[in-house]
Amino acid sequence: MTDPGALISLKGISDKRASLFAKLGVERVFDLFFLYPRLYEDWSETVSGADLLDGEVQVFQAMVARTPSVSRYGKRSTVRTELLADQVTVRAIWFNQPWLADALAAGETYLFRGLILRKGTRLEINSPQFYRVGSELPPLLPIYPLTAGLKQTVVREAVKAAMAEQALLPLECLPKSIRLKRHLAERTFALAAIHFPADRHALMLARDRLKYEELFLAKLALSYMTKRRLEAAVPPPLDTGGEKRRQVHAWLSALPFGLTRTQKRSVDELLDGLDGRVPMHRLLQGDVGSGKTVVAAAAVLYAKLAGGQSAFLAPTAVLAAQHYRTLNALFAKTGMNTALLTGHMPAKERRKVLAGLADGSVDCVVGTHAILEPTVTFSNLAFAVTDEQHRFGVLQRQRLLKTADDVRPHLLVMSATPIPRTLALIVYGDLDVSVISEMPPGRAEIKTYPARSADRPRIETIMAETMARGEQIYVVCPLIDQSELIDLKAASQVQALLQARFPDRTVALLHGSQRPSEKDRTMLAFAAGDVDILVSTTVIEVGIDHPNATMMVVENAERFGLAQLHQLRGRVGRGDRPGLCILISDTQDQDAKRRLLTLCKNRDGFALAEADLLQRGPGDFFGTRQHGLPEFRLVNLYEEKDLIDQVSADVADILKDDPELLSAENRRLLPAIGERFGDHFMHLVL
């Protein structure tokens, strides 16, 4: 018997179509309701033939004046016909859609919509959409995000079928008092109106309601989780105090470099957190190269002096090994016993590290997800650090903290992606925030330049000069395989071309589909100087510190966000030699051009992050969906400060009056969080 909530229970949805919907994040009927249209085509206002204007997108009624003809040129084709709109002739042309010749009947009347162009004395419309007069056509036609193999009509019919299943409609989740206070529509109306709005006013009401709901459920989930953590957990036993603080500051003063003002402030905030009576949850964010690791190291040393252990997580074995070397150098004269733990260690070494963690002889362990395995036990885990927050997320950091029934270690999350505070309030609502907003003096300059494909010979000359100096190069591509939809340079193709161009050099390939061990071997070879050019997708974005890499070339740079490009270019110029970043793009999109020029002129990661968030929205800002957090589909958090303030106040009031969310008015809130966040997230919350 078919599950009534399964997508294939809907008429017209086969297993094959269900797999296509899954690519859009739609796995059940419930998900269809929240697959919001990306835009709407307005078919409500038609104009007469006499009112057709050059350069305007317009809707008009016209008769097909002659039978459409098809011209073929190899694989290409053109369909032509003439339309008669109130005695005004309009020439219509469609490219590479030969089947449309059979869809239009001479003498029949249709509604057409498209861009009107005047060619001499004649009007022309290229690739217009059309519907037969009398068709059931909503005034605002929803246009959905698609994947190859899905058509707009299929998605619309699926949404209509879901709307007709009354038993499957999502239940109201917002308390009535909130809806009245904020003048919000009911959920069933909002979901119906966002898919098939009767008019623009109905669409506005729907969007206002669903934007509020998105923010409200996210903020409530994180606030509720934080409340439960503060109520239930106690920090590990630590013997902190003034003398141990003085030892930490003496160690910092003895380092061969000084700390910036905001580094010092962040150190004090971390030490205060380790002194606290509740487990610290803190986000440390700072630009690429701002010195986050030494700040975290100060807290690791404080924890050791106070009798506790620390765990330092990194997303890859290469980055874990890099942190291990850095921390060993920093702690050289402190008596700190630091160990490395990864998934590919020899069994004998692994057993030694595990024994040291269990008996307390290892003060700090640096590693990958291997630290999260059940076989890893600590004598007194007091402090945990996760590097590059968006590679772990809420679920992983909660798993790390479940070391005992009530005792939770202090947590520091480090991110080199500068997060505007408006975004941090929602996405990192369970964390306090420390910010390193200055760069240490003496950092080598990174120069960034835009370029076009025609500049490639000059770029290759610069690459040859760079390698002749014994320096290395990153070449970054947005895809590993050729896309069916967009003609991009795939990393595999670029590697082959560069190897042919530089036959005496070693050109290696690094991409996300490789096995972890294969990625590690490639990065280690690059670090050892055995690879001259590393062609990569964005897997090099996170944290890699290789001072001999001084040049980066980014292919199809318009496909990346500002924050992501800023992260990428931070991989070069990390030593005492200046870095060079070249952004290759042939885009004609003016917004994309402006975005790339902004990057070339600006080194402030926080300013770039805010510009990126404003232009691209929070979904694209991270590049990947947050673990355990819903994607914000309607809200641009940078533009919604007032709404964030409203939601934060409403969540605080609800949790103050009904901390367990058990009242009749609030009883749908936890199930709604479960529906949007997933049962696995609710397990951690509850």
Residue 382 within any structural domain of the chain: no
Own/partner pairs, 146-151, CB within 8 angstroms, 24+ separation? 146/24, 147/20, 147/23, 147/24, 148/484, 148/485, 149/20, 150/17, 150/20, 150/21, 150/24
Gap between the Cα atoms of 537 and 565, Å rounded: 12
Does the pLDDT value for residue 484 go beyond 50?
no
The pLDDT of residue 485 is 35
Does the pLDDT value for residue 260 go beyond 90?
yes
Per-residue pLDDT reduced to its tens digit, 508-535: 988 767 777 788 788 888 988 999 999 9
The pLDDT of residue 263 is 96
Does the pLDDT value for residue 569 go beyond 50?
yes
Together in a domain, 483 and 578? yes
407 to 231, 259, 534: CA distances (angstroms): 12, 33, 44
Residue 543 within any structural domain of the chain: yes
Residue 507 sits at φ, ψ, to 5 deg, of -115, 120
Asked if residues 427 and 285 have their Cβ atoms less than 8 Å apart, the reply is no
Together in a domain, 17 and 53? no
Residue 458 within any structural domain of the chain: yes
Q: Which of 216, 157, 1 is nearest to 649 (CA)?
A: 216
Of 194-203, 291-300, 612-621, the least confident: 612-621
- Which of 585, 614, 630 is at the close of a domain? 585
Together in a domain, 54 and 175? no
Greater confidence (592 vs 95) lies with 95
| Cβ-Cβ contacts under 8 Å for 648 (sequence gap 6 or more) | 219, 425
Per-residue pLDDT reduced to its tens digit, 416-436: 766 665 566 565 555 788 888
The domain of 127 spans: 45-132
Strand 472-476 relative to strand 533-536, pairing: parallel
Together in a domain, 60 and 23? no
Does the pLDDT value for residue 681 go beyond 60?
no
Q: Which of 66, 70, 64 is nearest to 96 (CA)?
A: 70
Residue 504 within any structural domain of the chain: yes
The pLDDT of residue 185 is 97
Decide: residue 4, CB within 10 A, 0-12 exposed, 13-18 middle, 19+ buried.
exposed
173 band by pLDDT with thresholds 50, 70 and 90: very high
Tokens matching residue 50 = 């006499």
The pLDDT of residue 542 is 52
Q: Which of 111, 145, 140 is nearest to 128 (CA)?
A: 111
Together in a domain, 55 and 91? yes
571 band by pLDDT with thresholds 50, 70 and 90: confident
Cα of first residue to Cα of last residue in the chain, in angstroms, is: 32
Residue 667 within any structural domain of the chain: no
- Which of 203, 223, 248 is at the close of a domain? 203
Does the pLDDT value for residue 224 go beyond 50?
yes
Does the pLDDT value for residue 488 go beyond 50?
no
Gap between the Cα atoms of 435 and 295, Å rounded: 11
CATH number at residue 458: 3.40.50.300
Please tell me the pTM assigned to this model. Answer: 0.66
Together in a domain, 54 and 171? no
Average pLDDT on 81-94 reads 95
Per-residue pLDDT reduced to its tens digit, 96-137: 999 999 999 999 999 999 999 999 889 999 999 999 998 888
Residue 331 within any structural domain of the chain: no
The pLDDT of residue 345 is 86
Residue 503 within any structural domain of the chain: yes
DSSP structure string for 580-608: EEEEE-----HHHHHHHHHHHH---HHHH
The pLDDT of residue 577 is 85
The pLDDT of residue 286 is 85
Q: Is 188 helix (H, G, I), strand (E, B) or coil?
A: helix
Strand partners for 367: 313, 341
The pLDDT of residue 390 is 43
The pLDDT of residue 209 is 98
Together in a domain, 77 and 194? no
Asked if residues 410 and 398 have their Cβ atoms less than 8 Å apart, the reply is no
CATH number at residue 111: 2.40.50.140
Residue 542 within any structural domain of the chain: yes
Q: Indicate the helix (H) or strand (E) that contains 648.
A: helix 641-657
686 band by pLDDT with thresholds 50, 70 and 90: very low
Does the pLDDT value for residue 552 go beyond 50?
yes
- Which of 132, 151, 168 is at the close of a domain? 132
Together in a domain, 572 and 498? yes
Rg (CA), the chain: 29
403 band by pLDDT with thresholds 50, 70 and 90: low
Does the pLDDT value for residue 483 go beyond 50?
no
Question: How many domains does the chain fold into?
Answer: 3
Together in a domain, 109 and 180? no
The pLDDT of residue 619 is 46
Together in a domain, 464 and 577? yes
The pLDDT of residue 401 is 61
DSSP structure string for 491-554: HHHHHHHHHHHSTTS-EEEE-TTS-HHHHHHHHHHHHTT--SEEEE-GGG-SS---TTEEEEEE
Gap between the Cα atoms of 13 and 21, Å rounded: 9
Per-residue pLDDT reduced to its tens digit, 431-471: 788 888 887 876 767 899 999 999 999 999 999 999 999 99
219 band by pLDDT with thresholds 50, 70 and 90: confident
Average pLDDT on 276-303 reads 90
Together in a domain, 33 and 118? no
Together in a domain, 27 and 53? no
What order of strands is seen across the sheet that includes strand 432-436?
338-341, 364-367, 309-313, 381-387, 410-415, 281-286, 432-436
Does the pLDDT value for residue 274 go beyond 60?
yes
Does the pLDDT value for residue 627 go beyond 50?
no
